[in-house]
């Protein structure tokens, strides 16, 4: 559902910025997409969120002074990320590094999907480890023993179910779990 009380400015319409703008537009968001504001602008995509975003009042030096409440930016290097932080970007995306980490984890063969969350926490999708097949989440003491949370289970041919304690984990189920990386690995190994 669109939040009609804010506007979103997407600056930089390369592959990344165009994809962001198109996705937001398809979600019914109020989007203003521009290739660049002036010659001193970034060479990357910047997504600015505010009550009323107008390209004519926003420059690289005063994004926060123009009524912007949140800034997301795509970074290409550590130095570039520092510059983006100085102008107020709170969310800095390094698409190449993030994608590389994700692919590395997927290629390892342990995960069906992988999403890194803030800090050391991740959300992964795995097949049920053999040591917990046939046990409910409560009986396997997943959280107590391994420090991970089963968010949900998708059995073949069935709908996704949220991870209630009574839910039994079967062979070939896909589990969505969340926790610290080392705890997830410990749960997978048993």
Place of tokens 């800090």: 119
From the DSSP assignment, how many helices (H) and strands (E) are in the chain? 5, 10
Query: Based on the domain organization, do 101 and 185 belong to the same domain?
Result: yes
What is the reported pTM? 0.66
Residue 139 resides in a domain: yes
What is the rounded average pLDDT of the residues 148-168? 96
- What contacts 71, CB < 8 A, 6 or more positions away? 46, 47, 48, 49, 63, 64, 84, 87, 88, 89, 90, 91
Residue 1 resides in a domain: no
Inform me whether the pLDDT recorded for 147 exceeds 60: yes
Domain housing 113: 97-189
Inform me whether the pLDDT recorded for 178 exceeds 90: yes
Query: Based on the domain organization, do 43 and 108 belong to the same domain?
Result: no
Give me the percent of the chain exceeding a pLDDT of 70.
75
Inform me whether the pLDDT recorded for 186 exceeds 90: yes
**Domain boundary at 45, 64, 93, which?**
93
Q: What is the CATH number of the domain that holds 161?
A: 3.30.70.1450
Query: How confident is residue 5, by pLDDT bands cut at 50, 70 and 90?
Result: low
How many folded domains does the chain comprise?
2
Q: Which tokens go with 26?
A: 């398809």
Query: Based on the domain organization, do 71 and 123 belong to the same domain?
Result: no
Residue 147 resides in a domain: yes
């Amino acid at each position: 559902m669109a939040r009609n009380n804010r506007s979103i400015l997407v600056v930089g319409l390369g592959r990344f910025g165009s994809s962001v703008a198109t996705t937001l537009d398809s979600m019914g968001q109020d989007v203003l997409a521009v290739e660049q504001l002036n010659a001193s602008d970034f060479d990357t995509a910047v997504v600015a969120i505010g009550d009323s975003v107008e390209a004519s009042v926003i420059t690289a030096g005063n994004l926060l002074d123009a009524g912007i409440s949140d800034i997301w930016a795509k970074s290409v290097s550590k130095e570039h990320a520092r510059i983006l932080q100085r102008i107020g970007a709170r969310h800095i995306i390094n698409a190449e590094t993030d994608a590389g980490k994700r692919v590395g984890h997927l290629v390892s063969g342990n995960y069906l999907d992988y999403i890194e969350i803030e800090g050391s926490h991740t959300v992964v999708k795995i097949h049920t480890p053999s040591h917990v097949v046939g046990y409910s989440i409560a009986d396997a003491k997943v959280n107590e023993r391994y420090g991970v949370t089963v968010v949900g289970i998708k059995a073949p041919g069935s709908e996704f179910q949220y991870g209630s304690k009574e839910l039994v984990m079967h062979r070939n189920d896909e589990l969505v779990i969340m926790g610290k990386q080392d705890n997830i690995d410990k749960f997978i190994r048993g």
